[in-house]
Amino acid sequence: MSDFFLPQLGHLPGLWHFSNPTLSKITIFAPPEAMNPTPEQSSESLILQISDPSQLNTYSLVLSAADITHRIQYISADHIEIYVAAKQQERALYELAAYESENRNWPPSLKPDTFAPTFRAMSSVVIGSLIFIYGLSGDWHLKSFWFLKGAGDSTAILNNLELYRLVTPLTLHADIVHLMGNCFLGGILLHYFFHLTGNGIGLCAMLVTATVANLINVTVHGPGHLFVGFSTAIFSVIGMLCTISFAMHTKRLSLHFFMPVMSGLALLAFLGSSGERTDLGAHLFGLLCGLVFGNFVRLRIFATLRPSFLAQTLLGAFTFIIFYACWLLALYF
């Protein structure tokens, strides 16, 4: 729009012409005393007086789009008039009125997202469950009953279809450092995630994405790959939070503030975690699955289920039952 106010010199005194194709029909005159009105101008009609110069471009473009030749005359800094040929007056007024009608209350203001789960400590329950299971299983060693039965084993999954091993490894950790790292990062992420989705939807989405990510990771590695840890679920939550923040257009300051932190922590986990026990494939596929599955918030059913206490409770209970059933299969079958 800056070229709108840059006249080309060398024309009649007080008469400004513009080379912008969009504004080719616009001529701006200095105050009336700068020149005498012509007979053509005498047949013009005043259709609009503007006190806010910022609106000038908008109204001028509306008239140009309708192929209506018009003249803009500056009386003072806060008094601008728009003229059109008398025969086009009615049409020009109609176009301006139509524009005002179509753009009234636009863009619509976003309603603040006031949703919050009824129970706000679900992340603590999840982290507490991980610590409890670590208290039972201890550190990873080859003869550990818990790890023999529940650790992720691609050979058992692919050859024997022990699909419960896609779920049970999420609750096992190699050592206390592994556990504490996942508890610290997971506790923060899950807190924000459950406050956006609700406890039941969040738990179910976390389970589904982490399970699918483990399946992809197992398929890519092939037989002979062992894995444990909650980090696959953590990276799936990071992916879903990233997608949700854009899909929901949320205005929550806490999430917008935390997004760069999540990105930094994710990058640190990718680049700073090295060693033979680090499963970068699980991190990568967890993140990618989360980015894809996070689009569930765009579904109409999400808006229906999120405020429903019954639906959230049933989905949360279903998730815990799945974890419990997988461990039953691992320990007794």
Domain extents in the chain: 2-102, 122-332
- The residue-averaged pLDDT of 214-219 equals 96
Indicate the class that CATH gives domain 122-332.
mainly alpha
- What 3-state DSSP class applies to 55? helix
8 A C-beta contact, residue 73 and residue 80: yes
Q: Specify the pLDDT at position 26.
A: 41
- What 3-state DSSP class applies to 76? strand
Model confidence, pTM: 0.67
Flag whether pLDDT at 173 surpasses 90. Answer: yes
- The residue-averaged pLDDT of 225-248 equals 88
Q: Which long-range contacts (CB under 8 A, 24 or more apart) does 56-62 make?
A: 56/80, 57/1, 57/4, 59/96, 59/99, 60/4, 60/23, 60/26, 61/22, 61/23, 62/95, 62/96, 62/99
Residue 168: which pLDDT band, with cuts at 50, 70 and 90? very high
**E strands along the chain, which residues?**
15-16, 26-29, 44-50, 70-76, 79-85, 152-153, 226-227
Q: Specify the pLDDT at position 38.
A: 55
Q: Specify the pLDDT at position 7.
A: 33
Residue 255: which pLDDT band, with cuts at 50, 70 and 90? low
Q: Specify the pLDDT at position 250.
A: 52
Q: Specify the pLDDT at position 34.
A: 39
Q: Find tokens 């060398």 and name the residue.
A: 10
Mean pLDDT for all residues in the chain: 80
Q: How far is CA 188 from the centre of its chain?
A: 19
- What 3-state DSSP class applies to 142? coil
Q: Specify the pLDDT at position 16.
A: 36
- The residue-averaged pLDDT of 151-167 equals 95
- The residue-averaged pLDDT of 98-122 equals 80
Percent of the chain with pLDDT over 90: 42
Q: Specify the pLDDT at position 19.
A: 35
8 A C-beta contact, residue 151 and residue 229: no
Q: How far is CA 154 from the centre of its chain?
A: 34
70 vs 170, more confident: 170
Cis peptide before 307 (omega within 30 of 0): no
Q: Specify the pLDDT at position 318.
A: 97
Give Cβ neighbours of residue 141 (< 8 Å, ≥ 6 apart): 147
What tokens appear for 64 in the block? 């140009």
Flag whether pLDDT at 148 surpasses 70. Answer: yes
Q: Specify the pLDDT at position 270.
A: 53
- The residue-averaged pLDDT of 224-241 equals 91
- Taking alpha carbons only, the member of 217, 222, 190 closest to residue 206 is 190
Q: pLDDT tens across 2-43, in order?
A: 333 333 333 333 333 333 333 334 444 434 443 445 555 558
Residue 150: which pLDDT band, with cuts at 50, 70 and 90? very high
93 vs 14, more confident: 93
Q: Specify the pLDDT at position 315.
A: 96
Fold of 2-102: Alpha-Beta Plaits (3.30.70)
What tokens appear for 238 in the block? 């990071």
Give the best-scoring range by mean pLDDT among 51-60, 211-220, 258-267, 293-302.
Answer: 211-220
Q: Specify the pLDDT at position 77.
A: 79
- The residue-averaged pLDDT of 66-84 equals 87
Give dist(CA 294, CA 35) in Å, integer.
64
- The residue-averaged pLDDT of 151-159 equals 95
